[in-house]
Amino acid sequence: MEKKIIHGFMIACLLLLSACSQGEEKAVVVEEEGSIRKIRLGSGPLSSPDYAAATFLCQSFLKYHTGPTVPCDTMVSQGSMHNLLALHEGKVEFGIARADGIYRAWQGEPPFKNSFPELRVLFALHQEIMTLVIPEAAKLSNLRAVQGKRIAFDSKDADNARVILDLLKACAIEADQTVPYGDQKIDQLSQAFKEQSFDAFFALLNHPNDLLGSVSQEQNFAILPLSEDCVETMVQSRAFYDKGIIPGEIYPNVPTNIPSFGIRSWILASTEAPEETVYAMVKAVFEHIDELRKIHPALHRLSPREMLPQFSVPYHNGALKYFVEKGWFVQER
């Protein structure tokens, strides 16, 4: 039976402890009855913040866990859906996935044939933020002005395209023309700016984004806020969306924070993962969170408050045990 938890954050401050090891991700197995014998953690592509976070999780667990030693390997993967399927099939013990994919797995929506009631979350990581880029020549000032314009987005990324189309539908925006970018992705933006082939570009991005930063050295653009009532209503009606901010001063001509919405990535396990193992992993991360912030720019602004939002999928009991100890969640009597 799941523990009943009231999600009541009571952080005044955190004691941030010392640095994390950069050592090997191997260890001698100490077998105990009922204990986990190996940790395989599905992450993402090598250059992604998910891979960086997974590597840190394994390293910190191996360095700071005081119980029986368990091997922890970071597994390169194709991303969220790959990790969810692998976790569902028992091919990995832990994984990282985006909230929209997690929700589909929990509900048993395609590509999942059945619901995944054993799925549990440990904590959230970075957000991919919906980013509306407007070339200087387009002279558009808000989301509504995109109506009837040439809209570009990566149509071959089905998950991202689904979110963009959800936004356009929610705000009753129809494009005069959709400009697919497919395999070119955002790194072809500079040439597209020069050719004036679109009026608005939608993308789900981690910020700061290196490619967008490179484009900003050659082309002037604006990033428009997504704060209309239709956006607010959509975010409130979808369990996997959250409000988000694109930080100011990381791109030229973007001096202030830009409100938008995004989708969080989460560390996952199933109820099969032992409570004490999950507790140890979560403790190692949160008591060395200053080091987690340093390993990738997308993780720079993480805080415990941001990492423990409400979600429709339950937290793992091992994670809850640590959060209750810290006074961040309150267990009902």
Q: pLDDT tens digits, residue range 237-270?
A: 999 999 999 999 999 989 999 999 999 999 999 9
The pLDDT score that the predictor gives to residue 215 is 87
Residue 295 pLDDT exceeds 80? yes
Please list the residues that pair with 124 across neighbouring strands.
266
Same domain (yes/no): 141, 257: yes
In the structure encoding, which two tokens stand for residue 2, read together?
């799941």
The pLDDT score that the predictor gives to residue 175 is 86
Q: pLDDT tens digits, residue range 140-191?
A: 999 999 999 999 988 778 899 999 999 999 999 998 888 776 554 566 777 7
In a domain, 75, yes or no: yes
Per cent of the chain over pLDDT 70 is 86
The pLDDT score that the predictor gives to residue 3 is 42
C-alpha closest to that of 241 among 322, 310, 329: 310
3 state SS for 183-237: HHHHHHHHHHHHHCCCCEEEEEECCCCHHHHHHHCCCCEEEECCCCHHHHHHHHH
Range of the domain at 282: 5-127+264-327
Q: CA 126, CA 306: separation in Å to the nearest integer? A: 9
In a domain, 332, yes or no: no
In a domain, 333, yes or no: no
The pLDDT score that the predictor gives to residue 186 is 61
Residue 138 pLDDT exceeds 70? yes
CA distances from 293 to 49, 104, 282, 289, 297 (A): 11, 29, 15, 6, 8
Calculate helix-pair angle for 80-88, 99-107, nearest 10 degrees: 30
The pLDDT score that the predictor gives to residue 30 is 32
Same domain (yes/no): 256, 285: no
What is the domain-level CATH number for residue 270?
Answer: 3.40.190.10
Q: CA 29, CA 161: separation in Å to the nearest integer? A: 43
Residue 205 pLDDT exceeds 90? yes
Q: pLDDT tens digits, residue range 40-60?
A: 999 999 989 999 999 999 999
Sign of the Cα pseudo-torsion (206, 207, 211, 212, in order): positive
Residue 84 and residue 105 in contact, taking contact as beta carbons nearer than 8 Å: yes
Number of domains in the chain: 2
Q: pLDDT tens digits, residue range 227-239?
A: 999 999 999 999 9
pTM for the predicted model, two decimal places? 0.86
Residue 226 and residue 130 in contact, taking contact as beta carbons nearer than 8 Å: yes
The pLDDT score that the predictor gives to residue 188 is 72
